[in-house]
Amino acid sequence: MTLRSQSPTARLQALLAQAGGLVIPCCFDALSARLIERAGFPLTFMSGFTVSVCRIGAPDTGLISYGEMVDQGRNICTAVSIPVIGDGDTGYGNVMNVKRTVHGYAAAGFAGVTIEDQVWPKRCGHTRRCNVVPRAEAINRVRAAVDASKEGANILIIARTDARATHGLIEAIERAQAFRDVGADITFLEAPLTEDEMRDYCKAVTGPKLANMLEQGETPLLSPSRLEEIGYKLIVYPLTLMSAAVHAMQEALLALQSQQVTSRLSDFVDIQELAGFTHYDREAKRYDELPSQKDSPSS
């Protein structure tokens, strides 16, 4: 069986089994996901922060709904052939909502889903105003997510804790290991403040670990090779593409305000190719000629 013919989850598992860290630019729509795939990255991550900003123009504070997130994810997963991990926030309710979220993300085509221990409404873990549920409730969320995967969702569970900001590093590490103990495939300790904290987490917790590299965030912005040496497997860049896109659009708007046209544009031919016109026209051409009489169903 070729890698392309495997399920998204199997392809993600195969990537995790390979040596070395995985650099993962985050996407926020089908176009950004397609650009990531075209650039040669083997997988992507649908960032809740960027989807909230780009889809509803609102901050990542729990305003975007489960339905909007899973719909955005379905479009992204359909547009690319690489595996996609989805931000499942807190699971959008109690443990039964968590199970529904996991099943829904799997049905949309995701290879993995994050479930976190923040209270609802959640918010970006680098904005210093988040809070977390008690440890027992957090563990039960992850248990429910793992159960949903075993009950047919067939999706990897990335268990995230934001307890570093509220309860300190030791509690965050203990939660991450507890998530592993109940079956989480990958752990994600959000917003460690120093490289030493990152090392302590990676040494103390078993299994693959995810580093969140947010430019100008709380966590030191280290190179992928350094993060791999520390012990991280997945190295995620949540805002890089959106920030670059916003900067480019602002430059273009300033040029138009000055009655100029910016020269920093993609070629129209490349935009058409990216949008899929070539594939569309090639497929449509197959149906230009009417089938012969002998090929018709009534013959």
- Give the pLDDT of residue 55: 97
Query: Three-state SS for 251?
Result: helix
Residues 66 and 87 in one domain: yes
Query: Three-state SS for 87?
Result: strand
More confident residue, 128 or 205: 205
For residue 159, being part of any structural domain is answered with: yes
Helix, strand counts (H, E) of the chain: 13, 8
Residues 268 and 176 in one domain: no
- Give the pLDDT of residue 264: 85
For residue 62, being part of any structural domain is answered with: yes
CA 200 to chain centre: 25
For residue 198, being part of any structural domain is answered with: yes
Residues 278 and 197 in one domain: no
- Give the pLDDT of residue 293: 62
Residues 134 and 200 in one domain: yes
Residues 171 and 255 in one domain: no
Please tell me the pTM assigned to this model. Answer: 0.92
For residue 143, being part of any structural domain is answered with: yes
> Band of the pLDDT at 1, cuts 50, 70, 90?
very low
- Is there a contact between 173 and 189 (Cβ–Cβ < 8 Å)? yes
Question: With 60 as the cut, is the pLDDT of residue 245 above it?
Answer: yes
The encoded tokens of residue 35 equal 């650009």
For range 10-20, the mean pLDDT: 97
- Closest-CA residue to 179 (of 109, 237, 114): 114
Cβ neighbour number for residue 143 with a 10 Å cutoff: 20
For range 150-162, the mean pLDDT: 97
The proportion of the chain whose per-residue pLDDT surpasses 90, expressed as a percent, equals: 88
Residue ranges making up the domain that contains 101: 3-240
Residue 129 has what DSSP assignment? Answer: -
For residue 297, being part of any structural domain is answered with: no
> Band of the pLDDT at 3, cuts 50, 70, 90?
low
Residues 172 and 273 in one domain: no
Question: With 90 as the cut, is the pLDDT of residue 37 above it?
Answer: yes
pLDDT digits (tens, 9 = 90+) for 103-133: 999 999 999 999 999 999 887 766 667 899 9
More confident residue, 265 or 72: 72
Q: Are strands 234-237 and 210-212 parallel, antiparallel or unpaired?
A: parallel
Cβ neighbour number for residue 250 with a 10 Å cutoff: 10
Cβ neighbour number for residue 216 with a 10 Å cutoff: 8
| CA distance from start to end of the chain | 38
For range 280-293, the mean pLDDT: 84
Q: Are strands 44-46 and 112-116 parallel, antiparallel or unpaired?
A: unpaired
Cβ neighbour number for residue 4 with a 10 Å cutoff: 8
Residues 105 and 72 in one domain: yes
For residue 296, being part of any structural domain is answered with: no
Residues 154 and 236 in one domain: yes
For residue 120, being part of any structural domain is answered with: yes
Residues 9 and 140 in one domain: yes
> Band of the pLDDT at 210, cuts 50, 70, 90?
very high
For range 180-201, the mean pLDDT: 98
Residues 271 and 202 in one domain: no
- The string over 278-292, giving b where at least 16 C-beta atoms fall within 10 Å of a residue's C-beta and e elsewhere, is eeeeeeeeeeeeeee
Residues 214 and 116 in one domain: yes
- Give the pLDDT of residue 43: 98
Residues 145 and 182 in one domain: yes
More confident residue, 142 or 261: 142
Q: How many domains does the chain have?
A: 2
Cα(40)–Cα(179) distance, rounded to whole angstroms? 32
Lowest mean pLDDT among 119-128, 155-164, 199-208: 119-128
Maximum CA pair distance of the chain?
Answer: 75
